[in-house]
Amino acid sequence: MKFGGASLAYPKDIYMRAEIVKKYSSDNEIVIVTSAIKGITDTLLDMIENAVKGRKDRMEKMFLTIRETHIDTARLLGLHGDKLDTILLYLGELEKIIYSVYNLREVTPRAKDYILSFGERLSTWIFTETLKKAGINAQFFTGGEAGIVTDNKYGNANPDLELIDELIKIRLLPLLEEGVMPVVTGFIGVDKSGHITTLGRGGSDLSAALLAYAVEADEVWFWKDVPGILTADPRIVEKPRKISVLSYMEAAELSALGAKVLHPRAVPPLMRKRIPLRIKGYLKPEDEGTVVKEQGGKWSQVVKAVTLIKNISLINIYSTFMVGVPGISGRIFSALGKGGVNILMISQNVSEANISILISKKDLRKALNIIEKTIRDIGFTEELSYEEEVAAISVIGEGMRGTPGIASKVFTAVAEKGINVKMIAQGSSEINISFVVDKGDGEAAVRALYKRFNLGMEKT
């Protein structure tokens, strides 16, 4: 069971989530994964930034917010004495480190991960103690202690699946058999030299998937503030419907294409061992939620969901030199890959004179430099243009594979709203159709498709 930040926002939330765990604990062996309390990872990041910039007042204000949040939460949950001492110890350590960052006006990626780890270490400690108070035989673990070993790509570390599988089996399985409930910090692991790493934003989902993989769980449950995976982001459309069943492929595409509800990296480990993932709403714990498994259910619904990605840039490369010359796009893409630029979508014109690439906005400058250099090295003249901020919309569903006419419905619905489509892409999987529009048109396009494909609560 994984509890994200939103499900641990206030002391009463933590108390109620512990009650849910208790309810299921009599009939199940459970491993718990927890994220930082809502907003804490963002506050830690802001605090680091202010320390680096020498803004002492702001840094201290953020530290105090973090300190008070955790102390108040712990006290309200009735944690006193040595239970509280551990929290104070963590906070003392955090305070020392943030002042070092401030004095140096510098933070290394490794130190940043170490600082971020306090969010999960504090919340998980509090949750473990709350579970104990509820009569559960819970035991606290950091990701590293549980066996989550990664490479040293700080900020977005890659798990070593084989080693993790082995270590977690050794460390956690005997405890489960003895009736202990391990409670593990999400988001963080440890590299082979013993330094704390983080798995990227939203990475607790990956932590949970790794633990499920290693203990060979019957199911993994993500508890959410929404009743399951919905047909669209509830912050964009009114009353999206809950999707009952999704295939691993659909869930992976959905999360990679912008649905924040699930981290894309969490899907592959589960898929490998065919462990079903259930997204459940803690407001109605008895509801089935959404199950993600091998088969995505009946294809009654061709288009299951629509997603939106914001804060992305579009780069267009145009050159008649590219026509019929093999390997040019390959060189551009591998140069971008080596430079650490993640390509979200690609489309190439049939004439081959034009390639469009979609990347994260934060990578724009770097990507432009890399592309310019690669093109110069290849030695052809080109026209390079870009748009700094666009939006990408995707419709997703396995039933689209081989069903003709979906694309025309998508683009007619968008055109009827007067929205201009800048680029179209369809992956080889054929379970999504994606396109790019002006940043201001993104949400309107989502709403148009939501209506066109009847994705609301009331089926028409």
| Cβ atoms within 10 Å, residue 61 | 14
DSSP letters for 304-330: -EEEEEEEEEEEEEE-GGGTT-TTHHH
Residue placing its CB nearer to ligand ADP in the complex, 206 or 341: 206
Question: Which span (46-54, 78-86, 187-195, 200-208) binds Mg ion, by CB under 5 A?
Answer: 200-208
Determine, following the binding rule CB under 6 A, whether residue 246 of this chain makes contact with ligand ADP.
Answer: no
Question: Site map for ligand ADP, 21-60, x if CB under 6 A?
Answer: --------------x-------------------------
Determine, following the binding rule CB under 6 A, whether residue 143 of this chain makes contact with ligand ASP.
Answer: no
What gap in Å lies between CA 317 and CA 322, rounded to an integer?
10
Residue placing its CB nearer to ligand ADP in the complex, 13 or 233: 233
What gap in Å lies between CA 424 and CA 15, rounded to an integer?
47
Provide the token pair at 324: 């019929």
Question: Site map for ligand ASP, 162-201, x if CB under 6 A?
Answer: ------------------------xx-------------x
Three-state SS at 139: strand
Provide the token pair at 123: 């919340």
To ligand ADP, the closest distance from the beta carbon of 305 in angstroms equals 6
To Mg ion, the closest distance from the beta carbon of 94 in angstroms equals 23
Determine, following the binding rule CB under 6 A, whether residue 5 of this chain makes contact with ligand ASP.
Answer: yes
Contact residues for 358 (Cβ-Cβ < 8 A; gap 6+): 312, 313, 314, 315, 343, 344, 345, 346, 390, 392, 423, 425, 436
As separate numbers, helices (DSSP H) first and strands (DSSP E) second, the chain gives: 14, 16
Name which position in 82, 177, 235, 324 contacts ligand ADP (CB under 6 A): 235
What gap in Å lies between CA 394 and CA 254, rounded to an integer?
8
What gap in Å lies between CA 441 and CA 390, rounded to an integer?
9
State the binding partner of 119 from ligand ASP, ligand ADP, Mg ion, none, CB within 5 to 8 A by kind: ligand ASP
Q: How many residues bind ligand ASP (CB under 6 A)?
A: 12
Query: Residue 1: CA atoms inside 13 Å, Cβ hemisphere, count?
Result: 25
State the binding partner of 261 from Mg ion, ligand ADP, ligand ASP, none, CB within 5 to 8 A by kind: ligand ADP
Determine, following the binding rule CB under 5 A, whether residue 258 of this chain makes contact with Mg ion.
Answer: no
Three-state SS at 426: coil
Determine, following the binding rule CB under 6 A, whether residue 260 of this chain makes contact with ligand ADP.
Answer: yes
Three-state SS at 251: helix
**Which residues bind to ligand ASP, rule: CB under 6 A?**
4-5, 35-36, 41, 119, 186-187, 201-204
Residues of this chain that interact with Mg ion (CB under 5 A) are 4, 202
